[in-house]
Structure 1
Amino acid sequence: MKELINYVLQFGNLNQQQIDLITSKATELQLQKDAYFSEAGKIARQVGFLVEGVSRVCYYNNKGEEITKYFIEENNLVVDLESFDNEICASAYVQAVTDCKFICFNKKDWQELLNTIVGWDTIVNKIISKALMQKVERRSPLVTEDATERYQKFLRIYANVVNRVPLAYIASYLGITQSSLSRIRKNLK
């Protein structure tokens, strides 16, 4: 729980009473590797904070191919925000790539935190803004670089993830085949 509180405190101040309320609303969720935190076609019902493990956001394209949009590592919020906030079906899956441990809040408790804690909405908005900026920074260069440059950038951005996820997911994220990725890795050694 302290990981979540330390993370939140980077974005604003909370007193002990507010921290106690957040802690009282939180539940722990253990997900096995390959299980889903939320699924496409269903409404996202919880906000999670990833304490241990790696998860990914993925979807299936019109050819039925699985595409990894991005990875989420420890000390990050995990939520399909549009689905959660607007109670609409999610368009992507959030999947545990490794065994994962989350601290979770259901919709009712999350709403209570927003309604009770002065400044909670500001803290949440700062966290969301940071996550969106990070997502754009990680994705946008991938469009203009060749496959080798994309992989080298992936190694820098996701240094803590690269050895914990299957190569197929990395290849999917980079928009290349697994055999191309194997060639690139071999050439870089």
Structure 2
Amino acid sequence: MKEFIDYILQFGNLNQQQIDFISKRADELALRKDDYYWEAGKMVKQIGFITDGVLRVYYYTNKGEENTRYFIDENHLILDGHNTETNYTPSEYLQAITDCKLVVFSRKDWKEISDTIVGWDNIIQKITAKHHHEKLERRSQLVSQDAATRYLEFMEKYPALVNRVSLSHIASYLGITPSSLSRIRKNTR
């Protein structure tokens, strides 16, 4: 819980009473590798914050191929869609690719925090904007680069993920085949 509060405090101020209020509404969730935080077509029931581990967001193409959109590691808030007040049913999967620990809130408790703490929505809006910017920055550069450059840049920007994420997931994220990634790795050593 401390990690979550420390993270939130980077985006706004909370007094001890507000921190206690938030803490009482939080639960801890452990996911084992390959467990799902959410699945396509099933309503999302909670908001989460990852304190340990790596998750990946992926979907299936119309040809049945898995495509990894992005990875989520420590100190990232996992909101359920664009609006936490409406039901959200994703078209993607959010799966643990390592053992993970999260701080989670039910939608009801999250709304209660929002309704009670003045400035909470502004804090969450700042976090959401930061995460959205990070996602756009990651994906936009991938479109215009060749595969080797994408891999080298992935290694440079996300060194902590390189040894935690399987090569097949990295290849899927980069939009290349695992065999192409193997060749690229061999040529970059």
- CA contact under 8 A between 1:33 and 1:96: conserved in structure 2? yes
2:135 maps to 135
Matched AA of 1:158 = Y
1:37 maps to 37
Tell me whether 88-97 or 173-182 shows the greater mean CA deviation: 88-97
State, as a whole percentage, how many aligned pairs show the same letter.
58
Cα distance in structure 1, aligned partners of 2:101 and 2:148? 33
CA 1:80–1:93 in 2, change beyond 3 Å: closer, same or farther? farther
After TM superposition, give the deviation of residue 84 of structure 1 in Å. Answer: 4.7
2:162 maps to 162
Cα distance in structure 1, aligned partners of 2:83 and 2:93? 11
After TM superposition, give the deviation of residue 159 of structure 1 in Å. Answer: 1.1
Cα distance in structure 1, aligned partners of 2:43 and 2:153? 33
After TM superposition, give the deviation of residue 114 of structure 1 in Å. Answer: 0.4
User: What does the per-residue CA deviation read over 1:131-162, in whole Å, with 9 as the maximum and x for residues that have no partner?
Assistant: 00000011101000000000011112211111
Aligned residue for 1:64, secondary structure, equals coil
2:57 maps to 57
1:27 maps to 27
Cα distance in structure 1, aligned partners of 2:131 and 2:51? 16
1:187 maps to 187
- CA contact under 8 A between 1:43 and 1:84: conserved in structure 2? no
- CA contact under 8 A between 2:81 and 2:88: conserved in structure 1? no
Residue segments in structure 1 that go unaligned for 5+ positions in a row:
none
CA 1:5–1:59 in 2, change beyond 3 Å: closer, same or farther? same
Residue segments in structure 2 that go unaligned for 5+ positions in a row:
none
Q: State the Cα RMSD in Å.
A: 1.0
2:87 maps to 87
- Compute the TM-score of the two structures, normalised by the length of structure 2: 0.97
- Compute the TM-score of the two structures, normalised by the length of structure 1: 0.97
CA 1:83–1:95 in 2, change beyond 3 Å: closer, same or farther? farther
The aligned length equals 189
After TM superposition, give the deviation of residue 88 of structure 1 in Å. Answer: 3.4
- CA contact under 8 A between 2:46 and 2:105: conserved in structure 1? yes
Aligned residue for 1:50, secondary structure, equals strand
Aligned residue for 1:95, secondary structure, equals strand
User: What does the per-residue CA deviation read over 1:42-76, in whole Å, with 9 as the maximum and x for residues that have no partner?
Assistant: 11111111011000111111111111000011111
- CA contact under 8 A between 1:45 and 1:106: conserved in structure 2? yes
After TM superposition, give the deviation of residue 85 of structure 1 in Å. Answer: 4.2
